[in-house]
Amino acid sequence: MTFRVASEVGKLRQVIVHRPGREMDRLTPTNKDELLFDDVLWTQQAQAEHDVFTAAMRDEGAEVLYLRELLAEALEIPEARHYVSDETFEERWYGVTGTQIMREYADSLSAADLAELVIAGVTKTELIELTGKLDSAYLARAENDFMVLRCLPNHFFTRDPSCWIFDGVSINSMQKVARMRETINLEAIYRWHPMFRNEGFKKWSGGLADRAATVEGGDVEVIGNGAVAIGISERTTAAGFERLARSLLWNSEATRVIGFLMKEERAQMHLDTVMTMVNENTFLKYKHLGMLPSVTVTKGSRPGDIEVANAPGEDMHKVLADALDVPEVRILTTPEDDFAAERGQWNDACNVLAIEPNVVVAYDRNVEANAYLESEGVRVIPVPGAELGRGRGGPRCMSCPTVRDDI
Ligand SMILES: NC(=[NH2+])NCCC[C@H](N)C(=O)O
C-alpha cells in the first residue's frame, strides 16, 4: 500500500491508533492538568471503548495499526533503540546520574518492554526497586510517587504527533511538555519500522528539531484539490505553520496552504475540535466558532519563497470554497441552543472521523449533532467515548490515517 492522504474524506484504508494502556493508570487528580486531561480515566472501560472504535474502522474496511506494536517492532532495530534511548533519557532533563540509571535499565529491556517503558513511564519507587540505585540528585529530589520518566497518556491521540499530507508525513514538534516525547516514538517508527523504512515517502518537517515551531496534526486538514487548511492555534504556532506551508508548497502537490487564526483556548485547542469535513465540500462547524480570519500561503517567485495573503473573518467560507474550487462550501452547524452547542463541542461533537464521503465515526453521546448529521444525509457510526473523551479528543484525534483513497 502506498502511504498517501490527499483528502480528509477519501475512503480510509489504513490508520495508526494507540489503545490506551498502563500510562492511563498514572493519571491522578494532582497531575491530570499538567498531563492535559480533565479527569482521571477508568482504564479498562477506555480500552473497551477504544476496541469498539477500532472495530468500527475495521468493519468499514480499514487496516488498523497499533502504535505500541509498531514501536516495539521498530525497537528491534539497534539504531532505533539507540535513537529512542538517546532522545528519551536526556541529561538536560534527568541530570548525569539520573540519565545513566534510567539508560542502563532501559538497555536491559526487550524491545517490547522498552516500548512499554517509554509510553507508561516509571515512578521513582519503581525505578529504585528495579535498579537498586538511587544515587542521583534528580532521584533524591523527587517524591516517591513522582514519575521520574513521565507517562504519555495522550499517545492515543495519534492524530497529533504525526500527520500524513499527500505522499509524506509531518512528524511534529509538540507544544506541551506532556506530549513532547511522543514525537520521538513516531520518528523511530517512520525511520526504522520495516513497514516504513524502505518506502519512499517524504518528510515535511524536522520532528524534535523543529523545537519552538510547533505543529500538531489536529490542526492539519488536507481539505482537497491540493489545499491544506491549518489551525494557527494554542498548539500550532505561526512559525510552525509557515515552515510547514513552505515545505509542502515547494516539495508536494500542495498549491495553497490556508492558516486559520484561532483563539488560544483549551476547549478549541486544535482546528479539528471545531471543524471537520464530512464530504468533499461539507464542513461540520461549531456554532460558536464564528468566522475565522485567515492567511493563505502560496509559492513565491524565487525558489523557497512564500507569499502570504490575509483575509478577514467574513471571508472564511469563501476562502474554503476558492481553495476547493467550488462555488460555495456547505457548512453544517447543529441547530441547538447555546448550552447544548458548548457542551457538544466540549465532548467533541465536531471531531468526527470520515471513513468515506458522508460516512463518519462520532461519539455516541453527541445525540443531537449525530441526529442532525443523519438528517443531512451523513451516515454516523456511533462509538462510546465516556472515558476516552475525558482527554478532550474524539474519533479524528484518535486516528492517524496513513492511506486514504484519492477523491
Ligand atoms: N487532534 C486533537 N484535537 N487532539 C486532542 C488532544 C487532546 C490532548 N489531551 C491534548 O491536550 O493534547
| pLDDT value of residue 308 | 98
Does residue 272 register a pLDDT over 80?
yes
| pLDDT value of residue 72 | 98
Is 273 touching ligand 1 by the criterion CB < 6 Å? yes
CA distance 155 to 175: 14
Nearest protein CA to atom 5 of ligand 1, as residue: 393
Q: Which of 183, 269, 346, 399 best tests ligand 1's pocket when mutated (most atoms within 8 Å of CB)?
A: 269
**Mean pLDDT computed over every residue of the chain:** 97
Q: 10 Å Cβ neighbour count for 288?
A: 13
DSSP structural state of residue 3: -
The helix (H) or strand (E) run that includes residue 331 is strand 330-332
CA distance 407 to 324: 12
Task: Supply the Cα-derived Rg of the chain in whole angstroms.
Answer: 21
Residue 118's SS3 state is helix
Closest atom of ligand 1 to 153 CA is 9
Residue 7's SS3 state is coil
CA distance 356 to 349: 18
Does residue 1 register a pLDDT over 80?
no
Q: 10 Å Cβ neighbour count for 196?
A: 16
Does residue 267 register a pLDDT over 90?
no
The helix (H) or strand (E) run that includes residue 43 is helix 43-59
Residue 339's SS3 state is helix
DSSP structural state of residue 77: S
Closest atom of ligand 1 to 160 CA is 1
Does residue 164 register a pLDDT over 80?
yes
- Across residues 238-263, what is the average pLDDT? 98
Is 156 touching ligand 1 by the criterion CB < 6 Å? no
Among residues 318, 334, 339, the alpha carbon closest in space to that of 378 is found at: 334
| pLDDT value of residue 199 | 95
Does residue 247 register a pLDDT over 80?
yes
Is 270 touching ligand 1 by the criterion CB < 6 Å? yes
Q: Are 385 and 41 in contact (CB under 8 A)?
A: no
In the residue annotation, 397 being an active-site residue is answered as: yes
Angstrom distances, CA of residue 20 to CA of 12, 35, 65, 174, 211: 22, 14, 14, 20, 27
Nearest protein CA to atom 11 of ligand 1, as residue: 36
Is 230 touching ligand 1 by the criterion CB < 6 Å? no
| pLDDT value of residue 137 | 98
Does residue 222 register a pLDDT over 80?
yes
ipTM of the complex: 0.98
For residue 277, give the C-alpha cell.
Answer: 469535513
Is 36 touching ligand 1 by the criterion CB < 6 Å? yes
Q: Are 332 and 285 in contact (CB under 8 A)?
A: yes
Is 272 touching ligand 1 by the criterion CB < 6 Å? yes
Among residues 305, 299, 322, the alpha carbon closest in space to that of 224 is found at: 322
Span 110-136, pLDDT tens digits: 999 999 999 999 999 999 999 999 999
Which CATH code fits 12-66+153-404? 3.75.10.10
CATH 1.10.3930.10 in the chain is located at 70-149
Catalytic residue among 151, 163, 350, 397: 397
Say if strands 202-203 and 168-171 run parallel, antiparallel, or are unpaired.
parallel
CA distance 352 to 370: 10
- Across residues 373-387, what is the average pLDDT? 98
The helix (H) or strand (E) run that includes residue 194 is helix 194-197
Q: Which of 27, 159, 160, 219 best tests ligand 1's pocket when mutated (most atoms within 8 Å of CB)?
A: 160
Q: Are 3 and 146 in contact (CB under 8 A)?
A: no
Q: Cell match 498502563: residue?
A: 22
| pLDDT value of residue 266 | 86
Say if strands 162-165 and 168-171 run parallel, antiparallel, or are unpaired.
antiparallel
Does residue 174 register a pLDDT over 90?
yes
- Plot region of 61 (φ>0 → left; ψ -120 to 50 → alpha; else → beta): left
- Across residues 251-258, what is the average pLDDT? 98
CATH 3.75.10.10 in the chain is located at 12-66+153-404
% of the chain residues with pLDDT over 90:
99
CATH topology of domain 70-149: Pentein (1.10.3930)
Span 193-219, pLDDT tens digits: 999 999 999 999 999 999 999 999 999
Q: Are 37 and 79 in contact (CB under 8 A)?
A: no
